[in-house]
Amino acid sequence: MSRAALAENKIESTIEVDVTSVITKRLDGIKNKDETVVRAIVDESYNKFDDWPPFRRQETEEALKNEFGAFKVLSNYSYELKDFKANVFGNVAVATFHLHYQGEIRNRRFEIDSRVTSVLKRQDSEWKIVHEHFSRFPEGSTSKGLIETVSSTSPPSAPSRDKKEMFAILGFISAVLSLFIIPEVFGSVAIVLGAYTWRREQGNRGIIIVILGIICMIVGIEVTAPFWLGGFLPS
């Protein structure tokens, strides 16, 4: 083999090591629930097809928001890479591999085998992930002669955005209703829905609903008390 061919093989080997390192950092970011690491590795034009709902293509912000939301209910995550291969085309690399990963979501265990394709591009001396495609192995399929088992029932994922929006809106409505109608009931409902929203989002909206529910319930009791008492007081 000529020196030029040896040098080219050495460069390709080095690039494959670099690409492997990026993929490993990406998966370690999930394992450690490190949002900063994940954001640093993906490109600004990043998108993906996931093996968890939603199964449509997710663009950068939606994909990261869903992933970081799952971090809040994910625990004991571990993974194993199998059959890794990287093909390099200039400043573009395509990595394909089998990913076995497991963990718990809200204390319910899952174990999954997926086929993964990652597309990376080189910016200066860094590789950034621009696209990922996760696809679970069909149940009972084989890979490298080994049985790959996939749970037929997916563990519960984080509540959908629509469901969380619905509970938040109902919380606001209940708080307002507590000003005029049975404040003890509607105020309590607003507080519960606000607490639920805060637990799922870990944001300010849930806290606002809780505080609003308390204030409106107190005001509602003050406003409606004379009307209730009026029925019992002598004229």
| Structure-block tokens of residue 216 | 């409106």
Written as one letter, the residue type at 16 is E
pLDDT at 168: 80
Residue from 120, 147, 123, 151 nearest 136 by CA:
151
Q: What is the pLDDT along the chain (235 residues), one digit of tens a residue?
A: 555 444 445 556 678 889 999 999 999 999 999 999 999 999 999 999 999 999 999 999 999 999 999 999 999 999 999 999 999 998 999 999 999 999 999 889 999 999 999 999 998 889 999 999 999 998 766 444 333 333 333 444 445 556 777 878 888 788 888 777 777 777 788 888 878 777 766 567 778 888 888 888 787 777 766 655 555 445 5
Digit-coded pLDDT (tens) for 125-161: 899 999 999 999 987 664 443 333 333 334 444 455 5
pTM of the model: 0.58
pLDDT at 230: 54
CA quadruple 43, 45, 49, 55: dihedral, nearest 10: 130
Environment class of 224 (CB within 10 Å of its CB; exposed 0-12, middle 13-18, buried 19+): middle
pLDDT at 7: 41
| Structure-block tokens of residue 220 | 């509602």
pLDDT at 231: 54
Using CA atoms, how far apart are residues 201 and 195, in angstroms rounded to an integer?
10
Q: Which residues contact 174 (CB under 8 A, 6 or more apart)?
A: 186, 187, 189, 190, 193, 213
Is 97 in a helix, a strand, or coil? strand
pLDDT at 21: 94
Digit-coded pLDDT (tens) for 85-103: 999 998 999 999 999 999 9
What is the dihedral sign for C-alpha 125, 132, 82, 6?
A: negative
pLDDT at 65: 95
Residue from 165, 142, 166, 137 nearest 152 by CA:
137
> Which residue is associated with the tokens 């409606």?
224
pLDDT at 212: 82
pLDDT at 99: 97
